[in-house]
Amino acid sequence: MRRPDFVMGNTRLRARRAALLDREQVARLAGEDLTGLAAHLRATVYGPLLAPGPVSRQALLAAVEERRRHALRGVGDVYRGEAGQVVGALLARYDLADTLTLLRGAAHDLPDDEVLAALHGVGALTPAAARHVVAEEAEAVVHRLAAARLPDPETATAAQQAWDRYLLHDDLAELEAAVARVAMARSERLLSEAGLPVAPLRRFLAAERDAANLLAALRVSQNGSDPADMRAHLLPPGAIPTRTLVAVGGGSDPIAAAPPAWRSELTRAVNTGDLTGLGQGLERLLLAEAVLGFRTGDPLGVAIPLAYVAAVEEEALALRRLVTQAPAGEPAPPSVPSVGAGTGRSAPVPASAPPEGWPGDLLAIVPDETAAGFRLAGTRTVAERDPAVVRELVDAELTGGFGGVIAVAERTWAALPASVRTEWAASTVPLIIPLPVEDDTAAGSRRARMQELLARSVGYEITFTPEGDRT
């Protein structure tokens, strides 16, 4: 491959960067309630995405997600030739995530609108292309990907082959890892041909894989699973060798295995058991390092498109955190029906224990009509809206020593006694939080919220674990 020419594309992205919020602007939003956040964001590029009048948490999250997608779409179009191929490898991260989402939706027979709302749609798998892929029959989704050669011929072929094996073994983690390895190998091969000019992008992608693999190893260690079984579910290693990851899965010190910049986050995770927080922390570190490319990277090289994509994601991540944590008045609790003899309700069904290897650091308790979207993200999900039953479910998790995050639908949360809400809000292990999922128009906001909560991997939404019905 000839030396990529990024000059024209970098000039256009630098112009686009002016529309992004800088860190000082985001920092000034800290402490604002939802009304204050909406007022400040209306004066920015988010204004056209927010309806007049009071804005809900769901609407703000949906606006953040729509702005993120809009800022990322078209990045590949401003580059041509070899530079276009390199930037295509950067955007292939999103195509891989979307391919896995399509396959996960097919495996769970989820509604088309739920699947489409969960897609990034910023690479080769555009929204229009994805609409032609979704189908009622699971096999048809796989065949349409292969026929359209989406997101690229190699990944499409790998998806079809992995799907055939999935039909035999019912191991969704194996399917996802197999497709991911082929897609990542393709990107790595293309970038290796470009040589030294694309080294910053190769380092970034390798660090993403290392972070995802390290999280997977820590979950295996936390769950007491057999570390030997994790090899088939690991991504191609970057700087952390597979043997080291297996050792971490067996209980060895993860801090010694990680880059020095990660050790503070790892120390906190080892002390608290909070792997969700670790995932978020590592993602922030990786994005912050990539954004530095605007100042320290080659202004004529790949550092600029990498920094721009990272800046978009960093802004969205920060705003999602502000929106989800912003105070807002709680609605008056509705009357809670009693649960007992004569109600026609059976005893609450406890959340099924995570299968071996399952990343059990997140449990979503949501109504039936929104449960499918959370299962699409590979989340351990219980479909329940009755506050009394939800209280018993959470109590069972507390008794069982669950140490991750429990997300309870916001309306159900509001219907609980104030003393229970106060007790849960004060809990740190597990972290128990309200989750806004009720608005049927907010599929995008649900996805944004789940990305913030899950942080199951850095850069990719990959299950790595057996799947099944978790209601």
Q: What is the DSSP string of 362-407?
A: EEEEE-HHHHHHHHHTT-EEEE---HHHHHHHHHHHHHTT--SEEE
CATH of domain 332-471: 3.40.50.10580
- What pairing do the DSSP bridges indicate for beta strands 431-435 and 405-409? parallel
d(CA 407, CA 454): 10
Amino acid identity, position 254: P
Find residue 431's DSSP bridge partners. 405, 428
Question: Cα separation of 214 and 254, whole Å?
Answer: 8
**Taking the CB of residue 231, how many other CB atoms lie within 10 A of it?**
13
Q: What pLDDT, on a 0 to 100 scale, did the predictor assign at position 395?
A: 83
Rounded CA separation 391/296 (Å): 51
CB atoms within 10 A of CB 14: 14
Side-chain-side CA neighbours of residue 258 (13 Å): 27
pLDDT at 377: 64
For β-strands 380-383 and 405-409, DSSP reports them as unpaired
Q: What phi and psi, each to the nearest 5 degrees, are found at residue 247?
A: -65, -40
CA–CA separation, 202 and 89 (whole Å): 10
Q: What residue segments make up the domains of the chain, in order of their start? A: 76-325, 332-471
List the structure tokens of 392.
Answer: 């018993």
**The predicted structure's pLDDT at residue 470:** 35
Per-residue pLDDT at 21: 94
Short-list 107, 109, 75, CA closest to 89: 75
The predicted structure's pLDDT at residue 242: 95
Q: What share of the chain is helix, strand, coil (3-state, %, to 5)?
A: 60, 5, 35
* Residue 135, helix vs strand vs coil: coil
* Res 436: pLDDT: 67
Nearest to 155 by CA among 141, 169, 145: 145
- 18: phi then psi, degrees, rounded to nearest 5: -60, -25
Distance spanning both ends of the chain, measured CA to CA: 51
Query: How many angstroms separate the Cα of 376 from the Cα of each of 97, 186, 299, 309, 356?
Result: 12, 26, 39, 25, 19
Tell me the per-residue pLDDT of 182-214, one tens digit each, with 9 for 90 and over.
999 999 999 999 989 999 999 999 999 999 999
Residue stretches of the chain with pLDDT short of 50: 329-360, 438-471
CA Rg value for the chain: 22
User: How many residues can be counted in the chain?
Assistant: 471
- Distance between CA atoms of 321 and 67, rounded to whole angstroms? 15
- pLDDT at position 52 is 87
Note the pLDDT of residue 358.
35
Q: What is the C-alpha separation between 302 and 391, in angstroms, rounded?
A: 51
Distance between CA atoms of residues 200 and 301, nearest Å:
9
* The residue type at 291: V
Judge contact between 89 and 183, C-beta under 8 A: no
Dihedrals phi, psi of 150, to nearest 5 degrees? -110, 145
Q: What is the pTM of this model?
A: 0.74
Sheet of strand 380-383: strand arrangement: 380-383, 362-366, 405-409, 431-435
AA identity, residue 369: E
Exposure string (b/e) for 198-210, b if CB count within 10 Å is 16 or more? Answer: bebbbebbbbbbb
**435 three-class SS:** strand
